[in-house]
Amino acid sequence: MDRGKVLNLQILLDHGPSQVRADAVDIIDHAIHDADPYLATKELIRQEGSYLIIGTLQYDLRQWSNIYVLGAGKATQGIALALEEILGDRLTDGIVVLKKGEPNHLEKIHVIYASHPVPDENSLRGARELMELAHKARENDIVISAITGGSSALAVLPPEGVSLADKQILNELLLASGASIHEINAVRKHVSQFKGGRLALEVFPAELIVLTVSDVIGDALDYITDPTVPDTSNYLDAWRTLDKYKLWDQLPPSINRYLRRGIETETPKSFEKSYYPFILVPGDAAFISAINRCKELGYETSVILKEIEGESFLEARKMAELALNKLKEDGHRKRFAWIGRGETVVTLDKPSGVGGPNQEFALSAALAVQGQKEIVVASIDMDGTDGPTDFSGAIVDGDTINRARENSLDPRVFLKKHCSTDLLKVTKDLVYTGSTGTNVNDLMFVLVDLNPDQIVS
């Protein structure tokens, strides 16, 4: 697949410190490429004669009957495409659930398109068809799972008595609450017949190979590919999340009643049958790539070791402050960079406009560095879609706020109303990549060049 580039390059470079902004685009392009699950799958898996080799595992296919592929998620298609090419005619059947709008490059594996971040009818259909295909697998079959980030919305199967509409409300409440992805998934897994290892139970006694791409901090398997691995959370974790964010009274009655059943909602904590998980692309893949590329471009590079979590606008201020302090204390250096990764949140306490965590991060950072024409800040969702938008994030500079005000826009109002997209579109700072085919930790970085070659006004 030929993808993984910033597609609106010229728009991004016709203003501000153009060379530094070009460096930011270059870093993003390299990060997307180095987190490509298609390439990672090709590195891990190959066929040699009658043998299928997956890492250290070897399968003599003469002794196995069928090979099935099951998948859902924003980084799933690249894995599935690589498997089609590797397995050829040995692939018996497969189903993957992809996000609406993603181009289909698959020929043999059946594709179902569903909605993200809030599930739709196709999310329900996708989960049912995945469960049905998993149930077909027998002891001499191999099932390869390609469940990646985004599957929690793309494939849903509520427990009996809970409607899809109720699940949609639950998702919206959780996403607007400010809860972390770990807290959100602890609840989701306990209101499901699909998540929390339940898909794997349908696969067994077949051989289960789990291929995934990490989009969570720490690469915990049950928060990346939870339908096919045992769950480390329990129903009390779900309860704590609902307590912490005061969501019990806002839940649809059916979900409230179901979760109150406690231990009856519990997920499997272990499997009787073995399964073999492989993280094809770790969550920090884009982060590591960005560090290496920054150094290659001549930036003295500092890293934020602790994963960036918390409210987007606050975390942006902290990162900008690091660069501003270094600029003040050590300003004789020509070029330097700060790089971090993680997953920030936006708490919506009232009706809001259009935006996403990375765009909000960028807008807040732009406010912090306004007037510093030598500074560029980027914040990117590596799957190519930040929040409910078609943009992956933004690249801002010290003149972004001035450009907004020249167009009679008050950045602080837009930040407060969580409608960063509208402002960043006017300032021409939005980054558009389309679907990248990957889904690792979000990437945030600051570039400083004290002698930028060109500033376009």
What's 288's domain CATH number? 3.40.1480.10
Q: Are 15 and 376 in contact (CB under 8 A)?
A: no
Residue 255 belongs to some domain of the structure: no
Q: Is residue 246 part of a domain?
A: no
Show the domain range for 220: 37-157+192-231+267-281
Q: Are residues 50 and 150 in the same domain?
A: yes
Q: Where does the pLDDT of residue 454 fall: very low under 50, low under 70, confident under 90, or very high at 90 and above?
A: low
Partners of 71 in the β-ladder: 96, 146
Q: Mean pLDDT over residues 385-400, rounded?
A: 96
pLDDT-based confidence at 107, cuts 50/70/90? very high
Q: State whether 114 and 198 are in the same domain.
A: yes
Q: Compute the average pLDDT of residues 362-380.
A: 96
Please say if the pLDDT value at position 383 is more than 90.
yes
CATH number, domain containing residue 196:
3.40.50.10180
Category of 102 on φ-ψ map: left (φ > 0), alpha (ψ -120 to 50) or beta: beta
pLDDT at 455 over 90: no
Whether 297 and 203 map to the same domain: the answer is no
Distance CA 456, CA 454 (A): 6
Claim to verify: residue 338 and residue 293 sit in the same structural domain: yes
In a domain, 253, yes or no: no
- State whether 210 and 346 are in the same domain: no
pLDDT at 3: 56
pLDDT of residue 329: 81
Residue 106 has pLDDT above 80, yes or no: yes
Q: What is the pLDDT of residue 4?
A: 59
Q: Does one domain contain both 219 and 359?
A: no
% of the chain exceeding 90 in pLDDT:
89
Does residue 180 fall inside a structural domain?
no
Distance of CA 381 to the CA centre of its chain: 7
Q: Which pLDDT does position 218 carry in this prediction?
A: 85
Sign of CA dihedral 319, 177, 381, 358: negative
Residue 238 lies in a domain: no
Residue 122 lies in a domain: yes
Residue 352 pLDDT exceeds 80: no
pLDDT of 456 strictly over 80: no
Query: What CA–CA distance (Å, rounded) separates 221 from 197?
Result: 11
Write down the pLDDT at residue 331.
59
The pLDDT tens digits of the residues spanning 79-105 come to 999 999 999 999 999 999 999 989 999
Are 349 and 425 part of one and the same domain?
A: yes
Structurally, how many domains does the chain consist of?
Answer: 2
Do residue 277 and residue 378 come from a single domain? no
Distance (Å, whole) CA 362 – CA 367: 9
Residue 97 located in a structural domain: yes
pLDDT over 60 (residue 154): yes
| 302 shares a domain with 220 | no
Residue 69 included in any domain: yes
Q: Which stretches of 137-252 are DSSP H helices?
A: 151-154, 164-177, 181-188, 198-203, 235-244
